[in-house]
Each structure stands twice: as structure tokens, then as C-alpha cells.
């Protein structure tokens, strides 16, 4: 067990790192952020910050000497340099390596027996054309690496769009995935301790637009609830196979054929922000508990309904109205410039 008073290293200094640092502080831990940016928003909530590149071995070694356990809030990180942290990195490097490459991820998920959209790895325009022929349209091309919030993706709605889509994603190694017809999107978020103990939160139903999460609501609709049991089995199978320690998120499509895994995130997730006020233990606190070997907390709901809305880009300018709304929990990430598509904050309403 890593007792309160210890220092938790967090690689990545975005809003997830910030909310992890806040949860760590509440339990009496110190957070130490590692991030290359000038002013990572997590630094405001942390006891210490190292500003260095994610591949800076020397800086990572020094960071390793200053922390008792380390985690990451972001999966687009080079894996090898993090190996200097040894077994104190939780979740381990395998969770990171699988989740950061959409090709590895899909093959791995299929290997655990869970359902994914029909897909092919593509490395050339000919490969894209071949995939379109095999999978039919619509198809979505996604770069294997570095995609998030719908970035690095292009849809192909007919064979004549193959070239434009390949160019749109920059001709990078990619996966081509059949477009799934779904009734809803939802996520299963779980926490797993080193001894295999695990806990699920209720699943949120997630509404996206332009590839970005807008809203998560709990409880999910009936069509999602009917698929939760199977989805949880798939999610725990993934966590067990990875030997994952900490919070793991599995995004699903509720398709007419049952739950289809979209992607996994080896970390706390935007679709779990509602747990800060909507569950007895938030995903952030639970992650800290899991990586420090504390007992997992209750994930019971604190109300009948919870709705989390993201504040994206200049949505954040409505903060004066939002903070005046009785009972609305407003979270602002202190990020500065409200660029289009940038996640600037979120609000949560719990209905008792």
C-alpha cells in the first residue's frame, strides 16, 4: 500500500491530470505532474511539476526518484522511456501500448472475444481501396496513432471518396473500419486493483457531435441497459487480460447485434466526469485508490439522474450564467485560450 503523504507522479498535465491531482490531494497525497508544456492546466492543482519532453530519459529518471507511484492521464506517449519507472507505473506499459495503436487495440480486443467493427489495417491508398471493397461503405479511416476527439479520421461514403479520405488523414498508417449502425453510444468504466478486485460505475449514454463528446447521461436508455451485462463482461475480460491496475474505459456502440467495442482508454475518461458529484466515489478518486492499493470505494449513484455537459471552445464564455444556476456543478479547467473544439470545462447536474 502507498499511504497518504506519498507522491503520485502523473504523466500528462491536461484536465484529466488536474482532476486526478485534486482527488489525490483530497486523500492526502501530493501530485507531481510531468508535461512538456509551459503551463499545463494540471500544474495549478499539483505540488510539483517537471517540464520536460515525454521522451526525456534523464528527466523521467529524476521524476522517478521523486515519486512513489506513477500514472498517466493521456495515451499518446512513447512507451519505452516510461519503462525507467519500472513496476511503479500503473497501469503498466502494456495497457498504454495497446490503447495507443488502433490496429493493436482492435486485434487485442478481438483476441479477448469481444466484438469490434469489421476492420482492416491500411498502409497505402491501394490498401484503402481494398478495404472499401471488402468492408463496403460507409467506412471510417482512422490513423493508428495520435487520434483523439475525432481528429485523424475521415469517412468514406462511396469508393470514389477513398483517395480524398486517405489524403485527409495525411496518408498515415491507419485502420479502416466499417461504419456501425447503432442505437446509442455508451461507456463502461471500471476500476481494477492489483489483486483483481474491481468495481463498475453505472454506464453513461454518450452523445457526440463532430467526433467530440458533448453529453453523458445516467441512467442510460433501455436499449443500452439491455446490453450492459454483456458489455461489462467484455470490459472486465479486457482489463484482466491487460493485468490493468487503475481505471479503464471501454467505449461501446449499442448495435442491433449487441455491444460493439469502439475503443479503450487506459485511464479516466470524459464520459466519467459525472462521477465527481454523481457517484459516491469519483473515477478520479478511485484511480488514486486503485494505484495506491487502497480499498476501492462505492460506485453507487448519489441521485436518480445525472447529466454532464462539456464546455467546448467558446461554450466556456457562458460561465457567469452557469455558476449562477442553482445546483449546477461547474468545472473550469483553467486552460486559457478557448480554441474551437478544445475542452475547456464541464457541468454536472445531479437530480435527486
Binding of ligand ADP by 117 (CB under 6 A): yes
Report the residue from 73, 185, 309, 315 that binds ligand ADP according to the rule CB under 6 A: 185
Cα–Cα distance, 302 to 136 (Å, whole number): 45
Nearer to ligand ADP, 140 or 291 (CB): 140
Nearer to ligand ADP, 211 or 297 (CB): 211
Work out the end-to-end distance of the chain between its first and last CA atoms, rounded to an integer number of angstroms. Answer: 36
Binding of ligand ADP by 36 (CB under 6 A): no
Binding of ligand ADP by 179 (CB under 6 A): yes
Report the residue from 64, 93, 127, 150 that binds ligand ADP according to the rule CB under 6 A: 150
* Residue corresponding to grid cell 483523439: 148
Binding of ligand ADP by 308 (CB under 6 A): no
Give the chain's largest Cα–Cα span.
60
Contact window for ligand ADP (CB under 6 A) among 143-151, 166-174, 282-290, 344-352: 143-151
Q: Which residue is nearest to ligand ADP (CB)?
A: 180
CA of residue 23 relative to chain centroid, distance: 17
Q: How far is CA 272 from CA 103, 236, 257, 279, 282, in A?
A: 25, 17, 25, 10, 8
Binding of ligand ADP by 75 (CB under 6 A): no
Task: Give the closest residue to 224 by CA, choosing from 190, 254, 180.
Answer: 254
- For ligand ADP, the binding residues in 216-275 under the rule CB under 6 A are 251, 262-263
CB 192 within 8 A of CB 296: no
Q: What are the strands of the beta sheet with 139-143, ordered from one edge?
A: 119-122, 174-178, 139-143, 153-156
Binding of ligand ADP by 148 (CB under 6 A): yes
Minimum CB separation of residue 157 from ligand ADP in Å reads 12
CB 165 within 8 A of CB 154: yes
CB 120 within 8 A of CB 103: no
Nearer to ligand ADP, 42 or 135 (CB): 135
Residues that bind ligand ADP (CB under 6 A): 117, 140, 142, 147-150, 177, 179-180, 185, 208, 211, 251, 262-263
Amino acid at each position: 500500500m502507498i499511504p497518504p503523504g506519498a507522491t503520485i507522479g502523473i504523466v500528462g498535465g491536461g484536465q484529466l491530470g488536474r482532476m486526478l491531482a485534486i482527488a489525490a490531494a483530497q486523500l492526502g497525497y501530493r501530485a507531481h505532474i510531468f508535461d512538456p508544456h509551459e503551463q499545463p492546466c494540471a500544474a495549478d492543482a499539483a505540488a510539483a511539476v517537471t517540464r520536460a519532453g515525454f521522451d526525456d530519459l534523464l528527466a523521467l529518471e529524476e521524476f522517478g526518484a521523486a515519486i512513489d507511484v506513477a500514472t498517466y492521464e493521456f495515451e499518446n506517449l512513447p512507451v519505452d522511456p516510461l519503462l525507467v519507472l519500472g513496476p511503479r507505473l500503473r497501469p503498466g506499459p502494456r495497457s498504454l501500448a495497446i490503447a495507443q495503436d488502433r490496429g493493436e487495440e482492435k486485434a487485442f480486443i478481438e483476441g479477448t472475444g469481444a466484438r469490434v467493427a469489421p476492420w482492416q489495417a491500411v498502409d497505402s491508398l491501394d490498401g484503402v481501396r481494398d478495404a472499401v471493397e471488402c468492408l463496403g461503405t460507409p467506412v471510417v479511416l482512422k490513423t493508428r496513432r495520435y487520434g483523439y476527439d475525432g481528429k485523424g479520421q475521415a469517412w468514406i461514403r462511396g469508393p470514389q471518396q477513398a483517395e480524398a479520405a486517405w489524403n485527409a488523414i495525411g496518408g498515415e498508417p491507419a485502420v479502416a473500419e466499417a461504419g456501425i449502425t447503432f442505437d446509442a453510444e455508451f461507456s463502461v468504466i471500471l476500476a481494477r486493483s492489483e489483486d483483481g478486485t474491481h468495481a463498475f460505475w453505472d454506464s453513461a449514454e454518450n452523445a457526440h457531435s463532430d467526433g467530440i463528446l458533448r453529453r453523458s447521461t445516467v441512467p442510460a436508455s433501455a436499449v443500452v441497459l439491455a446490453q450492459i451485462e454483456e458489455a461489462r463482461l467484455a470490459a472486465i475480460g479486457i482489463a484482466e487480460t491487460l493485468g490493468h491496475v487503475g481505471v479503464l474505459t471501454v467505449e461501446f456502440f449499442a448495435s442491433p447485434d449487441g455491444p460493439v467495442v469502439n475503443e479503450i482508454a487506459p485511464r479516466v475518461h470524459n464520459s466519467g466526469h459525472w462521477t465527481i458529484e454523481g457517484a459516491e466515489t469519483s473515477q478520479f478518486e478511485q484511480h488514486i485508490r486503485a494505484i495506491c492499493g487502497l480499498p476501492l470505494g462505492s460506485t453507487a449513484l448519489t441521485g436518480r439522474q445525472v447529466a454532464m455537459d462539456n464546455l467546448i471552445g467558446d461554450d466556456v464564455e457562458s460561465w457567469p450564467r452557469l455558476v449562477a444556476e442553482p445546483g449546477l456543478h461547474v468545472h473550469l479547467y483553467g486552460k486559457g485560450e478557448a480554441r474551437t473544439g478544445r475542452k475547456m470545462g464541464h457541468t454536472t447536474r445531479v437530480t435527486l
